[in-house]
Structure 1
Amino acid sequence: MQQIAPPDRARSLAWNTEDVRPAEQFAYYREAICQVFMKLTPEPTDRSSFAARIERVALGAGAINRVKFPGHLVHRSPSDIAASSSSCFYLNLKLAGRCRIEQGGRGVDLSPGQVGIFDSERLFALRHSHGPSLQVASFWVPTQLLRDRLPPSFEFKPARVSDDPLVGHLIVETAHALNSAAASMPEQESAQLFGVLLDLVALSLSRDGRRGTEPISLVEATWIALRRAVDSRLREPGLTAATVALSVRISERYVHKLFERAGTTFASHVMDRRLDGAARDLKDPAIAGRAIGDIAFDWGFSDLSHFTRRFRHRFGCTPRDWRRG
């Protein structure tokens, strides 16, 4: 199996099977799984090949493991547990395909966009299915890191925490944000965001958790979800705070409060993000022949002269001069 380890990013490692003969790919995948996910036992498949890619990024004391593979079955066996030097919880964000987590007589199904958690200290089975190519972002959570956020007597059971009516959507948004940006973020920032994610998971698992951490985490996670909601709608003309508030399930007033807390306003943030996007497109050689007006309209501007004025104010030149470089 080819291992990729960027020399300037020691906290990030990746493996893939693309340079391995098809008949040997599953065996190499099994070895990489053992390295990345502690000790797991994937069952052989009847496939003649097994194209897989695994990337691990450190998140302070924890890590995120991003995996892409065909459907198959994975076990955590007694010998796997005995051979492991540390314990953890797995917090899985399903990205493509479906998975069923079976542990302690309980089954938890995950579809794309859902998040589930289970324990490495007990036997489990993962049934990855429904799709030619399955993807999951699996957060490796040191056991004590989560236990410290839960009541001492808390009895853990596997759960789909994305279903929580209070913080489920914040867990999903925070997990997506970490999955997207962990490799490029400074490690301290990614570790802090990972802590926010764990606070939210602990809050979902037990309402009697460490309440001192809840308000901060809820605010930070809501802010993350809010910015993601704005970014996904930047190209919509007439985007309003009310529209975004509805998608994040908060009030319009709270939207403005969060932007004020960050030292800006909703309108300014949207304008800056749209101008940044247009500026990138104007420098893109692939669309060098596209009209400036078309690019402006693509980014939600309905008036070319207004776009030009705002662009000049932000970048100190006209869009045409910016494109010319």
Structure 2
Amino acid sequence: MQQIGTNGSKVQTLNYSVSGDTDSDSFKSWQQLLASLFRVTRPFHRREHGFFASLTVYHLGLALVLHGKSDAVRYSRSDAWTLRDDLDHLFIHVCSQGGGHLRRAGENRRLNHLDVGIVDLASPLDFVAYASESVSLVLPRSLLSPTTGELDRQHGRILLRDTPVGGLLGQHIMTLCQTAPRLWLHEAVALARVTANLADTCLGIGAVSYPAPTTTSHGGLMRSIRGYIEARLHRPELAPEEVASAFLISRSQLYRLFETSGGVRHYISRRRLRRALLDICSPALRHRRIGDIAYDLGFRNEAHFSRIFHDAFGSSPRAARAASKRGDAEWLAVASPAPGGNQLEHWLKELMAG
């Protein structure tokens, strides 16, 4: 059963729980919920047993925190899976109870109680979790420094609980999860940035030389193009022609890469609007005119900006700012998909640095 709420004007949350047989509709719905992250199956020796799982997701504006409990389950991501969902996030996993085995590049590594596992969602993965409770942090790659501990080589790394770095990062993530239900949204956004900085530092300390994961040219190209666009959202002249030229590909190739996003022009507009939404509702930027914020993000006509903002979020920029001043979480809720959609998938797709 899925429930979505704002915790009384706090951060928006997603609650989900299932119980039943492995072949039941409940387990299938659990697979569908997590399909935007993993292929979910049961270990062979547990397939005849009943299954229980629950998940609470907190949206911190720039990051997600997931608190989950489940019986033994297997999570995997193949090359084809990473190409299909095209996620570009780091998934930092702490086993608050239980543990599991993390397999990548032919190496099987044990993840024990309170160890911290690092997963690059742009890379293949195979993880078997025992009956466990866990807290996970999803950070967009754009929030992290690309030079920190060779970020592409962090996939599959385990920070042990008895090391200073592993203990500090793991405890911080669990504390953040405990605190999340009480956070106002502007506090959550600020703490997401602090957490990203801490993760940057911890991953840079004692980084080991794991082989870089094998990724397809498609995945690497998409990450490069998204980074190029994100760094140039403020330029009104940013257009598909420029992007295609910068990466020496045709416009038709570029469109195919962004076809699931409605094309690159639509993707650029959506990213600008999402950044505008965060800036307009940021307490640190309340002194700035909405028109000036829009101008800085490449919008040269304030009336046009207000119109497409309303079309995208169902609320005017002024109404969104007013809601944030009242402490409402409406400004995040208006970015939700239509009822009945996979809210978790929507959050993951829209999760980028503001």
- Using structure 1 for the length normalisation, give the TM-score: 0.55
* Corresponding residue SS for 1:60: coil
Give the letter aligned to residue 98 of structure 1.
Answer: G
Partner of 1:138: 136
Partner of 2:4: 5
Distance in 2, Cα, partners of 1:203 & 1:162: 16
- CA shift digits 1:117-172 (9 cap, x unpaired): 1111111011112x4xx111111111222245726786334222345844332212
* Correspondence list, 1:144-293, <5 A: 144-148=142-146, 150=148, 155-163=153-161, 165-207=163-205
Q: Is the 8 A contact 2:169 2:198 kept in 1?
A: yes
Q: Is the 8 A contact 2:63 2:138 kept in 1?
A: yes
* Corresponding residue SS for 2:153: coil
Higher relative contact order (CA 8 A, sep 6+): 2
Partner of 1:54: 55
Distance in 2, Cα, partners of 1:120 & 1:197: 18
Q: CA deviation at 1:41?
A: 0.6
* Corresponding residue SS for 1:122: coil
* Corresponding residue SS for 1:191: helix
Distance in 1, Cα, partners of 2:97 & 2:137: 16
1:41 paired to 2:39: yes
- CA shift digits 1:187-230 (9 cap, x unpaired): 22233333333323222322499xxxxxxxxxxxxxxxxxxxxx
Q: CA deviation at 1:22?
A: 7.7
Identical positions, percent? 16
Q: Is the 8 A contact 1:167 1:200 kept in 2?
A: no
Gaps in structure 1 of 5+ consecutive residues: 210-325
- The alignment of Structure 1 onto Structure 2 pairs a total of residues equal to 202
State the Cα RMSD in Å.
2.9
Distance in 2, Cα, partners of 1:207 & 1:96: 26
- Using structure 2 for the length normalisation, give the TM-score: 0.51
- CA shift digits 1:249-282 (9 cap, x unpaired): xxxxxxxxxxxxxxxxxxxxxxxxxxxxxxxxxx
* Corresponding residue SS for 1:51: strand
Q: Is the alpha carbon distance of 1:22 and 1:157 closer, same or farther for their aligned partners in structure 2, counting shifts above 3 Å?
A: closer
Distance in 2, Cα, partners of 1:164 & 1:195: 25
Distance in 2, Cα, partners of 1:104 & 1:23: 33
Q: Is the 8 A contact 2:161 2:170 kept in 1?
A: no
Q: Is the 8 A contact 2:61 2:185 kept in 1?
A: yes
Distance in 1, Cα, partners of 2:152 & 2:162: 18
Q: CA deviation at 1:48?
A: 4.7
* Higher Cα Rg, which structure: 1
